[in-house]
Copies of this chain bind each other. A is one copy, B any other.
Amino acid sequence: MTRFAFSIHATDGKARTGTIQMRRGEIRTPAFMPVGTAATVKAMKPEAVRATGADIILGNTYHLMLRPGAERVARLGGLHKFMNWSRPILTDSGGYQVMSLSDLRKITEEGVTFASHIDGSRHNLTPERSMEIQRLLGSDIVMAFDECPRADQDRDVIARSMEMSMRWAKRSRDAFDSGGEHAEDAALFGIQQGALDQGLRQNSADALRDIGFDGYAIGGLAVGEGQEAMFATLDFAPGQLPADRPRYLMGVGKPDDLIGAVERGVDMFDCVLPSRSGRNGQAFTWTGPLNLRNAKHAEDTGPLDPRCICPTCATYSRAYLHHLIKAGEILGAVLMTEHNLSFYQQLMQAMRDAIGAGRFAQFAADFRRDYLGR
């Protein structure tokens, strides 16, 4: 059984298309991973998630450790069985959400202590505990535990944080490797930090490469720095990471973010945007985002996007979706999420096809013309 094998089928400029082979299935890259925070991709049945074309979903260590609890998920047979998703699951390390969601956190060399945003209960998270939780969940792709600092801080702060994350990466590696059977089936990704600084990013990449991982994530972006600064960082960051391993840009992003990142050599993405926006009434289309709350859609009998092949576009009018969203109906969230996740997968497939055909630059230019109007 292949534990983890990444094959690059074609490159076009810095863009690559390939496949990751794992025990639970194949992941086509560039890949977009829908976020299944609390053991559910919000508003979607797992078979509907798969039908959008998703090969892998993401689960959140922070949320799952608090509710229902990692030990409980393990007793119930693991996350795949619990939520009825048989394909690969990537779990984050919990580090980012501890910083962004919890209260009363204290960060030391050992790890993080924090209070649950749900009930205020106190918890610890260390590299060792993060690896244990991800093993209890039965994760296929485990993320190293890191600190994700705000990008607008002094270089010294960013540097010290990155250096600690690299020590935590080594502890993550050691803890993961002692995980017995799970370590034989699952993959471990390291996470590059260093904010927008090329030198720090290089130091981080060197440290991670010395430890050795199955794949490498670019962390610390999409935290408010803006697309221009993100792209400037992506002009060098992917190239600092091993070329024969998948590169995963965490928490990104808008359709034009994905195109720009693939153009710069990124292979994997996750983001709550398509699902969260869908619940809020925003639809992504090939000609740009639509706000379904807008009264102009109230009697529009057309689909969200005439090019889209999703069940929502095959069946329902903008007028109906406008009505559902305005009325706060659950079905509105369901149908809009299904469309947006399907649109994202259609976008990834179009990118894979364009890279395979050696016409990614033209594809990206056409996309920007239609989507951004420029």
The chain A residues found within 8 Å of chain B, CB to CB, are 38-40, 42-45, 67-68, 72, 75-77, 82-84, 279, 298-299, 301, 315-317, 319-320, 323-324, 326-327, 329-331, 333-335
Contact = CB atoms under 8 A, between A and B. Distances in A.
Contacts of A329: 38, 40, 42
Contacts of A76: 299, 301, 317, 319-320
A84 B331 contact: no
A181 to B, nearest CB: 22
Q: Is the interface of A mostly helix, strand, loop or mixed?
A: loop
Copies of this chain in its oligomeric complex:
2
A330 B72 contact: no
A330 B334 contact: yes
Contacts of A42: 329-331
A331 B299 contact: no
B43 A330 contact: yes
Among A42, A67, A319, which residue has the most Cβ atoms of chain B within 10 A?
A319
Given A42-B329, A299-B75, A67 B334 contact: no
B330 A82 contact: no
Contact of A320 (B44, B83, B324): B83
A320 B39 contact: yes
22 contacts: A38-B327, A38-B329, A39-B320, A39-B324, A40-B324, A43-B334, A44-B331, A45-B331, A67-B323, A67-B326, A67-B327, A68-B319, A68-B323, A68-B326, A72-B299, A75-B299, A76-B299, A76-B320, A82-B323, A83-B320, A84-B320, A330-B330
